[in-house]
Structure formats: C-alpha cells, structure tokens
Chains A and B, each alone.
Chain A
Amino acid sequence: MNNNNSEFEPKIVAFVCNWCTYAGADLTGTSRLKYATNVKIVRFPCTGRIDFMLLLKAFAQGADGVIVSGCHPNDCHYTSGNFHARRRWITFRGLLDFMGIDIRRIQYSWVSAAEGAKWADIVNTTVANIRELGPYTEYQKVADYLDKEDYNG
C-alpha cells in the first residue's frame, strides 16, 4: 500500500438519506463547521434506496472510499428503510470481505438532522482513514477492462 500519502487526496463519495444525514450536513454548513473537500454527497430519499451496485460503481470509477449514512434506528422518516438498509449492509460487507474487497473503505454511519458536528467528524476521520489506506489502485486496476493482462496471463 502507498504510504507517502502527504499529497494523496482521496476521492470519497457519500451516499446519504434526504431526511437525516443530508439535513445533518446542511446543519454542518449553517453552523459553519469545516471539513475536507474530498467528499461529494449524493442525495437519496432513504438509505433503504441505496443500491449496493452504486457503491461498487463508485469504486470502479476511482473512488478511494465511500460513506453511507442515514437516520438513526427508529428515526427513519419511512419508519424502517434504515433497518432494511442495515441488513443489506451486513450481508454486503460479509460478501465483499469474502471476496477480498477492502471493506475498511466503506464507512457506515447514522447521522441525524441535528448532528452537524458528527457529520463533519465522520467526513474528516474517513478522509484521514482513507489517506492512511492510500489510493484503491488494487481495485481500480481491474476496473478498466482494457488492461486485463495482470489477471489474464
């Protein structure tokens, strides 16, 4: 793994629900709390909506890390979307790990509309962690179908 990461700026995509985490991130803004620019937020109605394929696509597209965040249990605007999501992630993580995909690069969190500070913290710590892990070249290498030779030999 790449260790001289001083200049390495990880690309991170955040998949968040509209009602809690998106609003929480809004609060981060209104409270003028600062965080790293590496993260770009994609807005979903609910964590229940987030398709696991989108996470894989993000990595394939060169993301080095992903944040998935929604309402705390029992706070879901749709009462149980986040519970369904939680199960999906439990399953997904198990599978990815078994396939040797680096699940440390996916940060799951519950951030409520009132937790602006928590959002800033999640982003910053995630950026720091991913910087530590370095770019996800291992995955990106296989992502481009043209250079297959390192696997088809």
Chain B
Amino acid sequence: MKIGFYPGCSLKGSSREYNESVVAIAKALDIELVEIKDWNCCGATAAHSMNEELSLSLPARILALAEAQGLKEVVVPCAACYNRLMVTQHELKDNNKRERVTDIIKMPYSGDLKIINVLQMLETYAMDKIQEKVTKPFAHKVACYYGCLLIRPHKILQFDRVEDPQSMDAMVKLIGGTPINWAFKTECCGAGLSVSRTDLVAKLSGNILKDATERDAKAIIVACPMCQSNLDMRRGAINETLSNPSDIPVIFITQAIGLALGLSPKELGLERHFVNVKL
C-alpha cells in the first residue's frame, strides 16, 4: 500500500509529534508514505484572502509535483494544508483558473489527484488492520475534537457529517476508547487569530476545553496541528480564563492509535506536548 505524503510546515516544525506519530502508525499498518519531493508551503495563511493567484499557485505546485512524481493519492495530515489543497483542487476545475495557475507554476496539472486527510486514509485502508493489531486498548473517556478546517466548507471537502462528524469517534471506539457526546466537536479554536488576538484564542479554546473537562473527558483527541497547539501550547493563557483550570492533554488521533498499537510514547512524540500526557 503506497500513498503520497504531504507533511507541510507544521508537521516539520511546531507539530513534529504529529509527523512522527503519522509515520509511526503508517509503518505499523504497512502503509508506505512517499513524501512529495521538493514540496512547498501550502499557503495556509491570510494569503487566500489577499492574493487569489498566489493562494492557488502554492498548492497547485504541490499537486503538480505529486502528479509529476507519479502519485495518484496524497495524504495530508495537517487540516489546514488539507483544506487549502482541497479548495485549490476545487477551484482548478475552472479551466481559466487552471490555465492561469499552471502558467504561473510552469507545470501542467490534470486535476485528477486524490487528496485525503489522515482520518480518510485510516478509514479506507486501515480499519481492519487497526482492529486486529490493537495490543493495548486505549481505554479512556475522550473528547473527539474536529475543529473547522477538516470538514468545512462541506460543499468542497465532502468529508464526514458537517454538523456532527463521526469518523474520529468511530476510530476511538475501534481502539477501545469511549468518545463523549459533547457539543464543541466543530467549534472554532481561534487559530485564525492565533497571532493577532491571542486573548480571543484563549477564550474560544477555553470554551472547548471547559466543556470537555466538565464532561469528564480524560483527553482531547484532534487531527489538526492548529487545534492541538492552541489547546496545548496556550494552556497557561487559557486556564487564566477558566474558573477551574484544566490539565487534560490534547493528543493526535494518530498518537492515540499508536498507543493502542503498543508503540512507545517516544516514537509517538508524546513527550513533546506542553500539557504532559499521562495515559
């Protein structure tokens, strides 16, 4: 099983543990990840609101590279990258735009590349494998938090139930966990303002953390580096906004699965978190 792999900047920087855990479980599940050579930033910044051509050209180059390197399918773990690539894929259906962009990046692109996020990859290729390979059931009560970039805009991403996503919950159940029923699955964590208005980020992330804690979740499971870093890295700031501070860890679904598969916390980069993980 061979799949193209686009890590993106976060996975190489702030969220290395995500990268490590993705790679680790892919290996454990016999999925060969082929990293796109010479990949560049996906432009998941304000770019798309400032300069359309740029915001399409950056991802387009990545897609074109992947295609040129003979890849049919690419997994994109970072929700922001996934979102940008999917949106670009969608936009390039418009021939004029495609021509304009391919002209800029000086590379052809057919538009046929299949782009999937980590959850889709596991759903399609690994569910049975995970089930059979679970050695240390992940027997915890957790809150699955999807954020926004992974499922919105639904028209374009067409992934999971937009108002009440289920894919992560299913995986958590599969590895022996108990996903709680809560209301903040798709609430915004504030990532968009993580530089300009940290106060708002703290508030928004706070609401999420508060509800999960009150519903007595032992961890928050995410599939997006932004969500993770906000809820984890900013915990200090967040806790200041909360009446009773929360110390529940925020881990990636890939890490949770990794643990269930019996991989060591080190391989999964669990020690990199700010809020330390006792699971």
Chains A and B share a contact (CB less than 8 Å) = no
Chain B residues proximal to chain A, CB less than 8 Å: none
